[in-house]
């Protein structure tokens, strides 16, 4: 009898591990973190987190979608140093091993950024400034940096020279410049699947990229700035030509996503998925054209 129970227990453990074992498909998950951004991308044992949202809810997303034994993230990206994108990364850094951090080489004079900079310093996390032309390959996933470019970084560097530094990061105040202007923008491709991840990229930066034809087309577009009216010009969508628009948003007093944008997307035949209506949104691609959608309300 005991032997039978041991066999059953072993089979149960093996089944549980099999359910947790990663497949080789690409999983793109827009975490439901409220008014903020956190996007988890996995393929096999390679795991990338783009932004961390406004609080610790990102940890629930990681626990839901990563094997329980895997506490390593190959790459974390902070698109720009605003609280609704960076706050959750403090908890991520304290609970997971972050192998590499892509981050702008400046911060903001806010208590939450000071805490993040201290965590980066205390955990000795290797970090770098992405720039246009840089290519990052993880497993079968490729990330091309679309923005910022070298010219924008050089202009910014001169401005930052005399700013105070927190743990090596020069820090600015809101009146200095718009941090959204430097939102790290990535083009993800996995076989035939493509996605453009924009953070809070401003129209002042996206439109020149469109005019210079430096915005690549993509099946999936992470809508800039939670669907704000000002930062979603029609020209951006005409350049990207997405089939799906993802909006990471929660209750807010900014009017996001804007009714004008939603009307435009509907008229263009672009499918809209938003975390405040659909919960966490997961796309699964085999890289060969098949795209499966799951969502958790």
CATH of the domain at 145: 3.60.15.10
Do the domain assignments include residue 145?
A: yes
Rounded Cα distance, 290 and 275, in Å: 22
Number of structural domains the chain divides into: 1
What's the full length of the chain, in residues?
297
Q: Which residue has the higher pLDDT, 110 or 174?
A: 110
Rounded Cα distance, 289 and 297, in Å: 26
Which run of H or of E encompasses 244? Answer: strand 244-247
Do the domain assignments include residue 274?
A: yes
Q: Mean of the pLDDT values across residues 2-22?
A: 53
Confidence of residue 8 (pLDDT cuts 50, 70, 90): low
Do the domain assignments include residue 164?
A: yes
pLDDT for the residue numbered 249: 98
Does pLDDT of 24 surpass 50?
yes
Do the domain assignments include residue 234?
A: yes
Q: Mean of the pLDDT values across residues 202-219?
A: 98
Rounded Cα distance, 145 and 147, in Å: 6
pLDDT for the residue numbered 7: 53
Do the domain assignments include residue 269?
A: yes
Do the domain assignments include residue 124?
A: yes
Rounded Cα distance, 226 and 85, in Å: 11
Does pLDDT of 239 surpass 60?
yes
pLDDT for the residue numbered 174: 86
Do the domain assignments include residue 220?
A: yes
Q: Which residue has the higher pLDDT, 280 or 21?
A: 280
Rounded Cα distance, 203 and 235, in Å: 10
pLDDT for the residue numbered 18: 42
Domain ranges, residue 175: 23-296
pLDDT for the residue numbered 294: 83
Q: Say if residues 167 and 117 touch (Cβ distance below 8 Å).
A: yes
Do the domain assignments include residue 14?
A: no
């Amino acid at each position: 009898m005991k032997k039978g129970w041991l066999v059953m227990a072993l089979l149960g453990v093996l089944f549980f591990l099999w359910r947790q074992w990663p497949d080789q498909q690409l999983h793109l998950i827009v975490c439901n973190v409220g008014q903020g951004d956190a996007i988890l991308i996995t393929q096999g044992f390679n795991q990338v987190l783009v932004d961390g949202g406004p609080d610790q809810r990102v940890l629930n997303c990681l626990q839901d979608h990563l094997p329980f034994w895997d506490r390593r993230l190959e790459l974390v990206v902070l698109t720009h140093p605003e609280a609704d994108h960076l706050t959750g990364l403090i908890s991520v850094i304290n609970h997971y091993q972050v192998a590499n951090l892509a981050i702008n080489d400046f911060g903001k004079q806010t208590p939450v950024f000071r805490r993040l900079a201290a965590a980066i310093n205390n955990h000795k996390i290797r970090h770098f400034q992405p720039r246009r032309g840089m290519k990052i390959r993880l497993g079968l996933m490729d990330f091309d940096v679309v923005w910022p470019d070298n010219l924008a970084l050089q202009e910014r560097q001169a401005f930052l020279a005399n700013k105070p530094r927190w743990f090596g990061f020069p820090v600015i105040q809101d009146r200095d410049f718009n941090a959204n202007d430097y939102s790290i923008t990535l083009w993800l491709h996995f076989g035939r699947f493509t996605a453009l991840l924009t953070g809070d990229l401003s129209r002042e930066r996206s439109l020149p990229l469109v005019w210079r034809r430096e915005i690549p087309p993509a099946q999936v577009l992470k809508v800039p700035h939670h669907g704000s009216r000002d930062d979603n010009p029609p020209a951006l969508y005409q350049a990207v030509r997405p089939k799906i628009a993802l909006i990471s948003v929660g209750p807010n007093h900014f009017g996001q996503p804007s009714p004008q944008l939603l009307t435009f997307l509907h008229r263009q035949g672009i499918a809209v998925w938003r975390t405040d209506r659909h919960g966490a949104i997961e796309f699964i691609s085999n890289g060969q054209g098949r795209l499966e959608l799951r969502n958790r309300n």
